[in-house]
Amino acid sequence: MIARGITAALLLLLAATAGAQPKIGYGEKKFDLGTIARGEVIEHTLTLKNTGTELLLLGSIDAFVRLHRYHRLQQGNPAGETGTLAITFNSRNFSGTVHKTVTVNSNAANEPRVVIEFTAKVIDEILLTPAHFWFKDAEVNRKTRQS
């Protein structure tokens, strides 16, 4: 009889704690930065929400792109609270269509590894081929006219 009572209590405890988990919710997993000039630095902020009942903790954030910085939730995200993740993309070394990913690792029960994707079209304002030009008889800091 005591063994049955302990078993029933353990089952109740397991059932109660099974639902008590952090869960991650996010506004978007894919976004487009649009058309940007080469060399522009664009920041995009994502909102992350803990839709679970326990503290959501972010782990490592793997950026398979040239990201200059990211901000993550410093001390965890209590149940029901939101936080932000700012992704800064420097387009200086890119041209054409760019497709990159950022992986956010956490203790979320529903999705411990979230892959966020973004795209951009990077254009050059002036495209020279070859990437230099030469003016005959020109000097630095002196106006020169060629007829």
Tokens read off for 106: 């956490």
Q: Does the pLDDT value for residue 117 go beyond 90?
A: yes
> What CATH number should be reported for the domain holding residue 94?
2.60.40.10
Average pLDDT for 27-54: 89
3-state secondary structure of 126: coil
C-alpha radius of gyration, the chain, whole number: 26
The helix (run of H) or strand (run of E) holding residue 3 is helix 2-18
Q: Are 123 and 35 contacting, i.e. CB atoms less than 8 angstroms apart?
A: yes
Please name every residue paired with 24 in a beta bridge, in sequence order, or none if there are none. 50
Any domain includes 10:
no
User: C-alpha angle 110/115/119, rounded to 5°?
Assistant: 145
Any domain includes 31:
yes
Q: Which of 17-31, 46-60, 61-75 has the highest mean pLDDT?
A: 46-60
Any domain includes 129:
yes
Indicate the average pLDDT of the chain: 75
> What residue numbers bound the domain in which 120 lies?
22-147
SS (H, E, C) 49-112: EECCCCCECEEEEEECCCEEEECCCCCCECCCCEEEEEEEEECCCCCEEEEEEEEEEECCCCCC
Any domain includes 145:
yes
Q: What is the pLDDT of residues 83-112, one digit of tens each?
A: 778 888 889 899 999 999 888 888 889 989
The helix (run of H) or strand (run of E) holding residue 12 is helix 2-18
Tell me what pLDDT residue 82 has.
81
Q: Which of 9-23, 42-56, 61-75 has the highest mean pLDDT?
A: 42-56
In degrees and rounded to multiples of 5, residue 10 shows phi and psi of: -65, -40
Any domain includes 51:
yes
Any domain includes 3:
no
Domain count, the chain: 1
Local confidence band at 17 (pLDDT 50, 70, 90 cut-offs): very low
Query: In sequence order, what are the residues at sequence separation of 6 or more whose Cβ sits closer than 8 angstroms to the Cβ of residue 133?
Result: none
Any domain includes 39:
yes
Q: Bigger pLDDT: 57 or 70?
A: 57
Any domain includes 6:
no
Q: Bigger pLDDT: 74 or 51?
A: 51
Average pLDDT for 120-145: 76
pTM score: 0.63
